[in-house]
């Protein structure tokens, strides 16, 4: 009898053990199925990310061995197509060819998917009140619906940092030989241009030449009228707008280097556009081809303009204001040439081509720890 009870108890234990094994296997299967589902989801996410990366050329492949046995990691490309918050400000100096340049931007804005906005200041004033500086800085930074955007207008540089704004715009500009700019503006006020020939300008009917104006020491040709490019780069400080102020010149130089992505020269506008096309392709893709083919490479020609005599040039060049404005121009020109040599490919020097290639160059990261 005892043997029979032991036999039955043994079978019950075996049945319970087998049931436990089945339950354990069942839960293991459920866990594996959950893991498989999670893995499937992860793979789907990875594939989606890879697809986006392929589309935007964002990748970080290991491309070789570095010094000391480390690996070199290629720098990821910027996802230009996804830079929806990019803001560019072109605080254009009058009579520097700005109409020709900005019309290229207007023509490209639809195909390159950005907005262009003109900053229209009352009475064409170049300096904003403090309250308007604050409003402008916050409008530009917070107006997300209009981004990416290129703003342009005849205003002096505005320092966004002093208003506590973390997101700063990208500044660009063009600069021109100061005497050429003054002469162009002098005749523009009298004869207008071919861009809007129907407008009657402020000095319409005054046929005095620039040479005669200088000889008679008239106000319209006074060297102080050249004091414009320095304050445009200097900004909104009172000293910026004092003709011949040495601090203003030095501040303009500092801002040109530290605050501006690129400052070109009117006399080499094509290369300025080429530089922008390789640096900011999300805005300027196709700009060089359009600039060369759209007959907009020189808009707004002054209707009548006489080159000043050598005697007039000598008188102007003796002025402190011309010397300081010319110093800023030479400084900007040297910086522009420096960046052009290190940025543009060989096609930039070949005026028969409409393609712009970047100078071959790479930078990579290595010796990354911990692995």
Q: Does this model's pTM top 0.85?
A: no
CA distance 21 to 212: 110
Is residue 337 among the annotated active site residues?
no
| CATH number of this structure's domain 87-343 | 3.40.50.300
The residue from 51, 154, 236, 337 that is catalytic is 154
Q: Give me the tens of pLDDT residue by residue for the chain, a chain 371 residues long.
A: 556 666 666 667 666 766 666 666 666 666 656 555 654 555 455 455 544 444 444 444 444 444 444 556 655 655 444 568 999 999 999 999 999 999 999 999 999 999 999 999 998 899 999 999 999 999 999 999 999 999 999 999 999 999 999 889 999 999 999 999 999 989 988 877 655 555 545 555 578 999 999 999 999 999 999 999 999 999 999 999 999 999 999 999 999 999 999 999 999 999 999 999 999 999 999 999 999 998 765 555 666 778 999 999 999 999 999 999 999 999 999 999 999 999 986 555 455 566 666 666 667 888 888 98
From the CB of residue 334, how many other CB atoms can be counted at a distance below 10 Å?
10
Identified catalytic residue from 115, 152, 168, 222? 152
Query: What are the boundaries of each domain within the chain?
Result: 87-343
3-state secondary structure of 344: strand
Beta bridge partners of 232: none
- Alpha-helix runs per DSSP H in the chain: 2-56, 98-108, 130-142, 178-191, 210-215, 229-234, 246-258, 269-279, 281-284, 287-293, 310-317, 320-343
Residue identified by tokens 């040297």 is 334
Residue 154 annotated to the active site = yes
| Both structure tokens of 219 | 């106000």
């Amino acid at each position: 009898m005892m043997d029979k009870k032991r036999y039955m108890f043994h079978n019950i234990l075996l049945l319970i053990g087998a049931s436990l094994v089945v339950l354990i296997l069942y839960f293991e299967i459920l866990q594996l199925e959950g893991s498989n589902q999670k893995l499937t989801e992860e793979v789907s996410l990875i594939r989606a990310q890879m697809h986006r990366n392929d589309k935007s050329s964002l990748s970080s492949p290991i491309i070789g061995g570095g010094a000391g046995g480390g690996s070199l990691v290629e720098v990821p490309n910027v996802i230009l197509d996804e830079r929806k918050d990019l803001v560019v400000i072109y605080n254009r100096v009058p009579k520097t060819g700005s109409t020709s340049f900005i019309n290229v931007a207007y023509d490209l804005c639809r195909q390159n998917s950005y907005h262009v906005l003109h900053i229209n200041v009352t009475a064409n004033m170049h300096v904003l009140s403090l309250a308007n500086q604050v409003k402008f800085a916050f409008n530009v930074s917070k107006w997300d619906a209009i981004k990416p955007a290129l703003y342009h207008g005849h205003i002096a540089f505005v320092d966004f940092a002093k208003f506590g704004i973390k997101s700063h715009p990208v500044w660009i500009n063009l600069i021109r030989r100061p005497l050429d700019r003054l002469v162009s503006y002098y005749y523009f006020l009298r004869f207008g241009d071919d861009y809007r020939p129907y407008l009657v300008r402020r000095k319409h009917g005054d046929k005095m030449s620039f040479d005669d104006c200088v000889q008679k020491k008239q106000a319209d040709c006074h060297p102080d009228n050249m004091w414009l490019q320095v304050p445009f780069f200097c900004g909104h400080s009172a000293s910026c707008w004092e003709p011949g102020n040495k601090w203003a010149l030095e501040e303009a130089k500092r801002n040109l280097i530290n605050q501006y992505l690129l400052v070109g020269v009117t006399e080499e506008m094509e290369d300025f556009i080429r530089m922008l096309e390789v640096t900011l392709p999300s805005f300027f893709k196709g700009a060089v081809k359009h600039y060369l083919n759209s007959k907009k490479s020189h808009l707004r020609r002054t209707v009548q303009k006489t080159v000043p005599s050598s005697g007039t040039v000598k008188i102007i060049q003796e002025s402190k204001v011309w010397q300081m404005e010319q110093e800023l121009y030479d400084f900007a020109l040297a910086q522009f040439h420096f960046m052009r040599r290190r940025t543009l490919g060989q096609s930039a020097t070949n005026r028969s081509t409409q393609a712009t290639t970047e100078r071959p160059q790479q930078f990579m990261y290595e010796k990354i720890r911990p692995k």
